[in-house]
Structure 1
Amino acid sequence: MKQQGFLDIINPVKDKMYRLALRLLVSKEAAEDATQDVILKLWNQKHKLKDYTNLEAFAMTVTKNYCLDELKAKKNNNLRIVHQNYENNSVSPQRGLELKDELNWINGIVSELPEQQKIVFQLRDIEQLEFEEIIEITNMKSTAVRVALSRARKKIRESLTKKHNYGIAKN
């Protein structure tokens, strides 16, 4: 198939391909790129085009599949970007202030805990020590460590819930 013969076949379908690509990809530039890429694919397969009874349907199917592949690739790239941001631990200034405020509240609550609960909470939830290490450090029994930790967490949770519910009720 010669170039002019190919263009005679593709030109009537080209606008439909573009509109389909635009519907799927939303961006005009992406739709134009997709249409050009599909036309190039069809050009590279021009010797097989005569085998198709409905070339328009074939071109539209290739366009649809190409656009869906592009969307899948874009989604994967977006997921990678989100994952990289997560690993990067980049936090917006507003979120940073919120976290700082929350930590200040938690520190205030922890400072009001009974001494045993404060120590157990610090060792387990902040220092991330194992229960065996906490038992060794505090000379407390296993059950006493678990009860102290449970009570400390409960007190912190209740205080934070009260703070957040109060903030909601205020607004």
Structure 2
Amino acid sequence: MKETAFLKIIDPVKDKMYRLALRMLTSKEAAEDATQEVILKLWSRKENIKHYANTEAFAMTVTKNYCLDQLKLKQNNHLRIVHQNYDSNTSLQKEVELNDEMEWLSKIVDGLPEQQKMIFQLRDVEQYDYEEIAEIMEMNPTAIRVALSRARKTIRESLIKKHNYGIR
């Protein structure tokens, strides 16, 4: 496989790989390094990559596994939600409120079990479908739905509690 063919496969997914790495490793530098390392791993397997039915899911799986290895090495369990999809035309007050909500959401997500955090990131932030997440996480699609449901329930209950009681 030539470099141009490889890049056509990797370019559409490299931003998602980076966001997943950032989600897992929290450091931009670590996420950039992880993305580069995974791309190098994929390049070394370039002749086999065309045989995978879903190369994007394969690339995301390799990214997930690499990041998990890095976390085991560094014993770093700090994860943050990545969110950049908000309307920049809002007023300053609304922007501050949104940032406050995102900070609270990030704290809530940080408290979720590792598996739920990853599934939440892949489904609700990255917009993967359940079958792709099941392939990436190497889990049954039903288990993905259950874990996501539990994560969303925990997030919803925590936000309701915060808003009802003004806990800050």
Relative to the length of structure 1, the TM-score reads 0.46
The structure showing larger relative contact order (alpha-carbon pairs under 8 Å, at least 6 residues apart) is: 2
Relative to the length of structure 2, the TM-score reads 0.47
Higher Rg of the two aligned structures = 1
